[in-house]
Protein backbone atom coordinates (compact mmCIF):
# COMPACT_ATOMS: atom_id res chain seq x y z
CA UNK A 1 0.00 0.00 0.00
CA UNK A 2 2.93 2.35 0.51
CA UNK A 3 6.46 2.45 -0.84
CA UNK A 4 9.62 4.59 -0.79
CA UNK A 5 10.85 6.00 -4.08
CA UNK A 6 14.15 7.68 -4.78
CA UNK A 7 13.92 11.39 -5.56
CA UNK A 8 17.24 12.79 -6.78
CA UNK A 9 16.67 16.23 -5.27
CA UNK A 10 14.95 15.33 -2.01
CA UNK A 11 16.21 11.82 -1.24
CA UNK A 12 13.49 9.25 -0.46
CA UNK A 13 9.85 10.11 -0.21
CA UNK A 14 6.80 8.05 0.72
CA UNK A 15 4.29 7.17 -1.97
CA UNK A 16 0.92 5.75 -0.94
CA UNK A 17 -0.95 3.54 -3.40
CA UNK A 18 -4.63 2.84 -2.78
CA UNK A 19 -7.57 1.57 -4.79
CA UNK A 20 -9.39 4.77 -5.72
CA UNK A 21 -12.78 3.09 -6.13
CA UNK A 22 -12.49 1.30 -2.78
CA UNK A 23 -11.38 4.52 -1.10
CA UNK A 24 -14.38 6.41 -2.48
CA UNK A 25 -16.87 3.70 -1.49
CA UNK A 26 -15.45 3.23 1.99
CA UNK A 27 -15.26 6.98 2.57
CA UNK A 28 -18.94 7.34 1.75
CA UNK A 29 -19.88 4.64 4.27
CA UNK A 30 -17.66 6.07 7.01
CA UNK A 31 -19.15 9.52 6.47
CA UNK A 32 -22.59 7.98 6.99
CA UNK A 33 -21.39 6.20 10.14
CA UNK A 34 -20.17 9.49 11.60
CA UNK A 35 -23.59 11.00 10.98
CA UNK A 36 -25.39 8.01 12.54
CA UNK A 37 -23.38 8.25 15.78
CA UNK A 38 -24.25 11.94 16.06
CA UNK A 39 -21.16 13.64 14.66
CA UNK A 40 -20.82 16.31 12.00
CA UNK A 41 -18.48 14.92 9.30
CA UNK A 42 -18.15 18.38 7.76
CA UNK A 43 -16.46 19.95 10.78
CA UNK A 44 -12.75 20.71 10.60
CA UNK A 45 -11.51 17.77 12.64
CA UNK A 46 -13.59 15.23 10.74
CA UNK A 47 -13.90 16.46 7.19
CA UNK A 48 -11.04 14.25 5.99
CA UNK A 49 -11.60 11.42 8.48
CA UNK A 50 -13.72 9.21 6.18
CA UNK A 51 -10.98 9.18 3.56
CA UNK A 52 -8.26 8.61 6.16
CA UNK A 53 -10.13 5.66 7.67
CA UNK A 54 -10.85 4.24 4.20
CA UNK A 55 -7.13 4.25 3.42
CA UNK A 56 -6.25 2.90 6.87
CA UNK A 57 -8.59 -0.05 6.40
CA UNK A 58 -7.02 -0.87 3.05
CA UNK A 59 -3.59 -0.85 4.70
CA UNK A 60 -4.69 -2.90 7.72
CA UNK A 61 -6.38 -5.51 5.50
CA UNK A 62 -3.88 -5.62 2.64
CA UNK A 63 -3.19 -9.31 3.32
CA UNK A 64 -6.09 -10.33 1.09
CA UNK A 65 -4.13 -9.10 -1.93
CA UNK A 66 -0.89 -10.99 -1.20
CA UNK A 67 -0.15 -14.69 -1.73
CA UNK A 68 1.93 -16.03 1.20
CA UNK A 69 2.87 -19.15 -0.75
CA UNK A 70 4.59 -17.03 -3.40
CA UNK A 71 6.51 -15.22 -0.65
CA UNK A 72 8.02 -18.50 0.54
CA UNK A 73 8.63 -19.75 -3.01
CA UNK A 74 10.53 -16.57 -3.86
CA UNK A 75 13.37 -17.61 -1.54
CA UNK A 76 13.60 -21.41 -1.34
CA UNK A 77 17.05 -22.96 -1.22
CA UNK A 78 18.38 -26.51 -1.10
CA UNK A 79 20.25 -27.03 2.16
CA UNK A 80 21.15 -30.18 4.11
CA UNK A 81 20.18 -28.77 7.51
CA UNK A 82 17.77 -30.76 9.65
CA UNK A 83 17.74 -28.88 12.94
CA UNK A 84 15.23 -26.43 14.29
CA UNK A 85 14.96 -22.96 12.68
CA UNK A 86 13.14 -20.46 14.89
CA UNK A 87 12.02 -16.90 14.15
CA UNK A 88 10.56 -15.55 17.37
CA UNK A 89 9.06 -12.30 18.64
CA UNK A 90 7.53 -11.42 15.26
CA UNK A 91 5.23 -8.46 15.88
CA UNK A 92 1.59 -9.04 14.99
CA UNK A 93 -1.01 -6.36 14.28
CA UNK A 94 -4.31 -7.90 13.27
CA UNK A 95 -8.03 -7.15 13.33
CA UNK A 96 -10.56 -9.23 15.24
CA UNK A 97 -13.30 -10.20 12.81
CA UNK A 98 -16.00 -10.12 15.50
CA UNK A 99 -15.69 -6.44 16.50
CA UNK A 100 -13.12 -5.15 13.99
CA UNK A 101 -10.86 -4.03 16.81
CA UNK A 102 -7.11 -4.74 16.83
CA UNK A 103 -5.31 -7.55 18.54
CA UNK A 104 -1.59 -7.06 19.00
CA UNK A 105 1.15 -9.44 20.02
CA UNK A 106 3.99 -11.67 18.93
CA UNK A 107 4.35 -14.86 16.92
CA UNK A 108 7.03 -17.50 17.39
CA UNK A 109 7.52 -19.76 14.38
CA UNK A 110 9.77 -22.79 13.95
CA UNK A 111 10.31 -25.43 11.30
CA UNK A 112 12.71 -28.33 10.80
CA UNK A 113 13.92 -28.36 7.18
CA UNK A 114 13.75 -31.48 5.06
CA UNK A 115 16.24 -30.45 2.39
CA UNK A 116 14.76 -27.00 1.73
CA UNK A 117 15.06 -23.75 3.67
CA UNK A 118 13.58 -20.30 3.11
CA UNK A 119 14.75 -16.77 3.80
CA UNK A 120 14.20 -15.83 7.44
CA UNK A 121 12.41 -12.63 6.51
CA UNK A 122 9.93 -14.66 4.48
CA UNK A 123 8.65 -16.32 7.65
CA UNK A 124 7.91 -12.90 9.14
CA UNK A 125 6.25 -11.78 5.89
CA UNK A 126 3.98 -14.83 5.88
CA UNK A 127 2.91 -13.93 9.41
CA UNK A 128 2.16 -10.37 8.27
CA UNK A 129 0.10 -11.49 5.27
CA UNK A 130 -2.24 -13.62 7.36
CA UNK A 131 -2.36 -11.05 10.18
CA UNK A 132 -3.39 -8.26 7.77
CA UNK A 133 -6.84 -9.79 7.35
CA UNK A 134 -9.94 -10.01 9.49
CA UNK A 135 -8.94 -12.79 11.85
CA UNK A 136 -9.41 -14.84 14.96
CA UNK A 137 -6.17 -15.76 16.69
CA UNK A 138 -6.88 -19.47 16.52
CA UNK A 139 -7.25 -19.48 12.72
CA UNK A 140 -4.27 -17.17 12.26
CA UNK A 141 -2.07 -19.65 14.14
CA UNK A 142 -3.17 -22.58 11.99
CA UNK A 143 -2.96 -20.70 8.69
CA UNK A 144 0.68 -19.78 9.31
CA UNK A 145 1.52 -23.39 10.21
CA UNK A 146 -0.30 -24.86 7.21
CA UNK A 147 1.25 -22.43 4.73
CA UNK A 148 4.80 -23.25 5.83
CA UNK A 149 4.12 -27.00 6.02
CA UNK A 150 2.40 -27.22 2.64
CA UNK A 151 4.98 -25.06 0.83
CA UNK A 152 8.34 -26.08 2.30
CA UNK A 153 7.40 -29.69 3.14
CA UNK A 154 9.57 -29.64 6.29
CA UNK A 155 9.81 -32.34 8.95
CA UNK A 156 7.59 -30.23 11.18
CA UNK A 157 6.26 -26.75 11.97
CA UNK A 158 5.41 -25.06 15.26
CA UNK A 159 3.60 -21.76 15.77
CA UNK A 160 2.81 -19.98 19.04
CA UNK A 161 1.04 -16.62 19.19
CA UNK A 162 0.63 -14.42 22.26
CA UNK A 163 -1.67 -11.42 21.86
CA UNK A 164 -3.73 -8.81 23.65
CA UNK A 165 -7.22 -8.20 22.26
CA UNK A 166 -8.68 -4.70 22.40
CA UNK A 167 -12.17 -6.20 22.12
CA UNK A 168 -11.54 -7.56 25.65
CA UNK A 169 -9.74 -4.46 26.92
CA UNK A 170 -11.79 -1.53 25.60
CA UNK A 171 -15.25 -3.10 25.77
CA UNK A 172 -17.07 -6.14 27.09
CA UNK A 173 -15.27 -7.75 30.02
CA UNK A 174 -12.61 -4.96 30.03
CA UNK A 175 -9.67 -7.03 31.25
CA UNK A 176 -6.71 -4.83 30.33
CA UNK A 177 -3.93 -7.24 31.26
CA UNK A 178 -5.20 -10.51 29.79
CA UNK A 179 -3.05 -12.30 27.19
CA UNK A 180 -4.32 -15.01 24.85
CA UNK A 181 -1.91 -17.76 23.80
CA UNK A 182 -2.57 -20.14 20.90
CA UNK A 183 -0.37 -22.89 19.48
CA UNK A 184 -0.34 -25.40 16.66
CA UNK A 185 2.17 -28.14 15.90
CA UNK A 186 2.65 -30.67 13.13
CA UNK A 187 5.14 -33.38 12.25
CA UNK A 188 8.24 -33.62 14.43
CA UNK A 189 6.83 -31.05 16.85
CA UNK A 190 4.12 -33.48 17.88
CA UNK A 191 6.86 -35.28 19.80
CA UNK A 192 6.99 -34.07 23.39
CA UNK A 193 10.77 -33.63 23.51
CA UNK A 194 10.90 -31.54 20.31
CA UNK A 195 7.98 -29.41 21.40
CA UNK A 196 9.53 -28.81 24.83
CA UNK A 197 12.82 -27.75 23.22
CA UNK A 198 10.92 -25.24 21.06
CA UNK A 199 9.03 -23.83 24.05
CA UNK A 200 12.28 -23.52 26.02
CA UNK A 201 14.04 -21.72 23.17
CA UNK A 202 11.28 -19.17 22.56
CA UNK A 203 11.13 -18.49 26.32
CA UNK A 204 14.83 -17.70 26.52
CA UNK A 205 15.68 -14.01 26.42
CA UNK A 206 18.94 -12.66 25.06
CA UNK A 207 21.11 -11.16 27.79
Per-residue pLDDT of 99-129, as tens digits, reads 999 999 999 999 999 999 999 999 999 999 9
Q: What pLDDT does 7 receive?
A: 52
DSSP, residue by residue, 119-130 = -HHHHHHHHHHH
Contacts 24+ apart (CB under 8 A), 52-57: 53/26, 53/27, 54/18, 54/22, 54/23, 54/24, 54/25, 54/26, 54/27, 54/30, 55/1, 55/16, 55/18, 55/23, 57/26
Q: What pLDDT does 42 receive?
A: 96
CA distance linking residue 121 with residue 116, whole number of Å? 15
Residue 147 in marked binding region: no
Q: In the chain, where does the domain assigned CATH 1.10.286.10 lie?
A: 20-62
pLDDT band at residue 6 under the 50/70/90 scheme: very low
Catalytic residue numbers read 96-99, 137, 165, 167
Q: What pLDDT does 204 receive?
A: 86
pLDDT band at residue 4 under the 50/70/90 scheme: very low
List the CATH code of the domain at 68-203. 3.30.1130.10
Q: Specify the CATH superfamily of domain 20-62.
A: GTP cyclohydrolase I, N-terminal domain (1.10.286.10)
Q: Considering Cα of 44, then 28, then 55, then 93, what sign does the dihedral take?
A: positive
pLDDT band at residue 171 under the 50/70/90 scheme: confident
What whole-number percentage of the chain has pLDDT above 70?
92
Q: What pLDDT does 207 receive?
A: 60
User: Which residues are bridge partners to 159 per DSSP?
Assistant: 109, 184
Quickly count: other Cβ atoms within 10 Å of residue 143's Cβ. Answer: 20
Q: In the chain, where does the domain assigned CATH 3.30.1130.10 lie?
A: 68-203
Per-residue pLDDT of 34-77, as tens digits, reads 999 999 999 999 999 999 999 999 999 999 999 999 999 999 99
Residue 177 in marked binding region: no
**What does pLDDT average to over the chain?**
92
pLDDT band at residue 10 under the 50/70/90 scheme: low
Q: What pLDDT does 206 receive?
A: 73
DSSP, residue by residue, 24-53 = HHHHHHHHHHHHHTT--TTSTTTTTHHHHH
Across residues 2-30, what is the average pLDDT? 72
Amino acid sequence: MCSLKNNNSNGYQRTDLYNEQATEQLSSHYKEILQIVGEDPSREGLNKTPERVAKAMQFLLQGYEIDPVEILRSAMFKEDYRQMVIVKDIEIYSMCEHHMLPFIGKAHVAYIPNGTITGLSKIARVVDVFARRLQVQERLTTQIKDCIQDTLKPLGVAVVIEAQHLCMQMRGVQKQHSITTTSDFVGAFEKVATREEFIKLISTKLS
